[in-house]
Amino acid sequence: MSSPAWSVYEGDWGSFCDDADNVPPTLALKGCGLRQKCLLQRGAQGAVYLGEDADGNVFVVKRLFTQRSEFGVRGVSEGSLREATLLTYITERSKALGPEPLFGVIRLERIVEAPFQELCLILERCAFNLSRMVFYSRKRPYGAAALFPETPTRCPILSKMSVIQYLMRGILKILQFLHEECHIIHRDVKLGNLLVGEDGRVRLADFGSARFMHEAVEKMSDARSGEYTPISLRTTVIYQAPECLLGERSYTAAVDMWAAGVVFAELLLQQHLFHSCSELAMLSDIWKLLGTPSDDPSFSSGEGAVTYAVRTESTIARKFPERIVSAEGLDLLKRMLETNPKKRITDSEALRHPFLCGPAVESGMEEARRLWNKKVEACMQETVAQPAAMGMRSFYVDNVEFDEESGENDDDDGEIATLPTCLDCFPHIFSDVNSGYDI
């Protein structure tokens, strides 16, 4: 897509650039005071750059392309506008609560307009995501030895229960903040969306699928239907809760707790819990692990009811023996992976669970934080030393999902909002945006 997203630093807009890969390094996005460092990734929905300010601080610039609606009108997609709106609201709520925590939501610095009514989100920069740390930074052979790899050994630091407790406490506190303070359901919690900074901080990113809880929406505006767009259309299948896979549209924050339970399991195993490629296969894998919910009326009656040709028993205790997790940890995992969303443990309840709370746990948190920072430092060195072997140019781009194979809008309803409409509807959120580009 041709777009002069970057212009001469503190000058006028430069000439059009046909390919974002060929943008000269001396160009900068006008009005945000950032000089472009490099392009990280370009897709059908947008592009991600690294930008640097005059003080040498580095930020991520997520440029959102305009999309063409079914009526032929180009504008900011509803999904892009929703993400910008939610991130702004969350950032403001986070600032109101005090100093920035070690575990939180990715910080939105500001929103800047680019030509052709495109938007650029200036975001906090992180070094890599938790998925890379858990799945790729174990002991693996490099060079010629990588052609005949042996089974990778478990990371000794991430195998320590205190480190897992430290991470799960932080992740659950993020969800507690989203659910209780912001009344938002993320709907795409996964290791790949948990970013890690060089100082060990952890940030939840990618709010393109997030939604306000309906009770919060009804308080702020007219009452609406209690149904969401099916989560299966937007999010990663191996993290989807069974109620979503069965077509439930009026789900709650329990879907985030299921996904957090899958994250917990992946931290314990240091590999994916599920490997399904379809919704049907995912349901089958869930029943194999947890057993079919034979006596659960939420699955045996009403809309989305299912019947089973073969009944299966739970195998979760065999998959997570005592050498991997304690009895208390297994109990928490089972309660997070409860198939009935009404019985599933909440974030506040999980934080009070004996596995994550108590004098013994608290006494080990300082050492766990030290070990975690040591692991982050090792990953930073590993990334610099072996970038090719890690199979990526940037850890960060994994968390910005673009549909590179099709040009379809990455939103639920395919609706397009032009920038003037956005400015009218959200004057406070887009207070830094104006049509003169001289912010």
User: What amino acid positions are annotated as catalytic residues?
Assistant: 188
Integer Cα distance of 286 and 280 in angstroms: 10
Instruction: Identify which of 168, 230, 212, 159 has the alpha carbon closest to the alpha carbon of residue 194.
Output: 168
Rounded CA gap, 11 and 13, in Å? 7
127 SS3 class: coil
How far apart are the C-alpha atoms of 358 and 373, rounded to whole Å?
23
Which residue shows structure tokens 């599933």? 344
Q: Are strands 27-29 and 7-8 parallel, antiparallel or unpaired?
A: antiparallel
Task: Give the integer Cα–Cα distance in Å for 202 and 260.
Answer: 14
* Strand residue runs (E) in 65-187: 67-68, 74-77, 103-105, 108-114, 118-123, 128-129, 184-185
- The CA distance from 311 to 313, in Å, is 7
Cite the DSSP H helix spans in 40-121. 78-96
Angle ∠(28,32,34) on CA atoms, nearest 5: 45
Q: 87: how many CB neighbours lie within 10 A of its CB?
A: 23
Closest CA to 86 of 173, 187, 7: 187
Helix boundaries (H) for 177-253: 214-220, 242-245
- CA–CA dist 199, 368 (Å, integer): 14
Choose among 91, 109, 127, 105: nearest CA to 173.
105
What stretches of 3-129 show up as alpha helix (H) in DSSP?
Answer: 78-96
